[in-house]
Amino acid sequence: MARIQKVPTGEFHSGYGCIIMSAVIGVFGFILWWGYYTLVTMDASIAKITQSAPAKLPDIVAVPELETRLTEFATAANEGKVATLKLSVADLNTLLLLAPDGGNGSYKDMLRVKSLDATTGAIVTDVSLPMNTAKFWEDTKRYLVGEIDFKMEMTAVGPDAKVSAVRVPGKTVQEEMVKGMQMYGYLGPYQTHPTLGPVLKAIKQFKVEADGVWLSTEEKK
């Protein structure tokens, strides 16, 4: 039986390949330009609301019994038991002292929890947040000094905390910058921690109340 062969009926023009390659190069060039433009634009926006030196945040007065409460909660969580924990503002600041460096510096040098807003669910903090310049390879820091509101959200690996609002005295913080900061989860480094990760994953509920952040390992009904 004769084999059927597909034979092109149209003439191939080498110009087609040139057009396609030109389009690819054009798109790639645009991506590079847009990345550079975004970096420079964002760098300029950050420069307007930061300062060259960090601010001295208030000293943390540690809550002595917190470690015992945390251990009891972690033990119950790891055993699959129902457990609850309520963390006051003082407790949350003590956690900043206890938390290991997540790889981007210690939060105890960057944040202080000052209040809790039960209406909006916000954790209000004073910050002295280090930020890189566009020449990130030089490791030159500048500092965002002001207030940041965090809101908690539940993920597949437990609760996370993300930026919801940024305030710098006397400065206007652009919405695009806030959106950029919202991409980072501040509990993310601990969700993969060998000790802390399983405890975070065991937490199924949270609630920000006026006198503390309530956590529970019980599934939400």
Q: What integer pLDDT is reported at residue 209 of this predicted model?
A: 98
Q: How far is CA 29 from CA 20, 26, 34, in A?
A: 14, 5, 9
State how far the Cα of 203 lies from the Cα of 214, in Å rounded to an integer: 10
Q: Is residue 89 part of a domain?
A: yes
pLDDT of residue 38: 44
- Low-confidence stretches of the chain (pLDDT beneath 70): 1-41, 102-104, 133-139
In a domain, 94, yes or no: yes
Q: How many domains does the chain have?
A: 1
Query: Is 22 within the bounds of a domain?
Result: no
Place of tokens 């030089």: 138
Paired tokens of 205: 């509920």
Minimal CA–CA distance to 92: which of 69, 127, 62, 122? 62
182 part of a folded domain: yes
pLDDT of 138: 60
| Residue numbers of the domain that contains 210 | 66-216
pLDDT, position 181:
86
Look at residue 102 in the predicted model and tell me its pLDDT: 64
According to the model, what pLDDT value does residue 51 have? 93
Is residue 14 in a domain? Answer: no
Q: What is the pLDDT of residue 8?
A: 54
Residue 147 to residue 178: CA distance in whole angstroms = 12
First to last CA, the chain: 69
The answer to whether position 191 is within a domain reads yes
**How much is the pLDDT for 136?**
57
Residue 148 included in any domain: yes
